[in-house]
A = this chain, B = another copy of it.
Amino acid sequence: MDNAIVLLSGGLDSATSLFWAKKNGFRPFCLIFDYGQRHKKEIDNARAIAKKAKCGYEIVKFNLASDTTSLVNKKLKLPKKVMPDEIPSTYAPARNIIFLSLGVSFAETKKAQFIVIGTNQLDYSNYPDCRDEFIRAFQKAINLGTKSGTQAKTIKILTPLQNKNKAQIIKLAVKLKVPLELTWSCYAGNTKPCNICPSCIIRAKGFKEAGVADPILR
């Protein structure tokens, strides 16, 4: 069994990636990031998902430069709709770049040759660090910038959801028995999803198209 570091945010995509990794014979270890995000709910959810999957996990803290992102800075307003071709205020500079970098560090330390990340670029919020071309460029940087890379045991980034739309991801999640009731997508951290933010809208559209009832709305 190969060790894999799974980057687990507590959302739908990363949870599905975790269960995909389990199904495909990897031994996952989850990294859950605490970077001062707007609400801690997703961290609690990520922890619950890792436990449900019976995986080891670690909460990894870091200071994100937070002045400009509404994902962290509560003084900034959350966006209220999906804007095609526009990067919303929830864009957190270098968020996935930092997640992957910390993932590489843990992968090398824990002898995991794989990092699993739930990026996808069909129904998404135009974040540049979710695109396949970024992932491929970052892979090259890992090949050249790590000890394992120089020893031809390069850590490989796996993106099982990269070219799936949200409905396809939800169908896969159902098939993999992902505890969808534990996933949290809403940018606001209230007890119920706001149903206004882009993340809620994309999620609702995905569930509708997949013909699945979203258990968190029950």
Contacts and interface: CB of A to CB of B under 8 A. Distances in A.
Interface of A: 58, 60-69, 87, 91-98, 100-102, 104-110, 128-129, 131, 133-134, 137-138, 140-147, 149-150
Which 4 pairs from chain A and chain B are nearest by CB? A93-B108, A65-B109, A62-B62, A94-B105
Contact of A145 (B58, B63, B66, B128): B128
The DSSP consensus for interface residues of chain A is: helix
A131 B140 CA distance: 13
B62 A110 contact: no
Contact of A87 (B105, B106, B128, B147): B147
Given A94-B108, A128-B147, A140 B142 contact: no
Contacts of A140: 137, 140-141
A143 B108 CA distance: 25
A50 B98 CA distance: 24
Contacts of A68: 108-109
A62 B102 contact: yes
Nearest to A150: B128
Contacts of A63: 58, 60-62, 102
Given A134-B144, A144-B128, A64 B105 contact: yes
Contacts of A147: 87, 91, 93, 128
B94 A145 contact: yes
A61 to B, nearest CB: 6
Contact of A102 (B92, B94, B96): B94
A65 B106 CA distance: 5
Contacts of A150: 87, 128
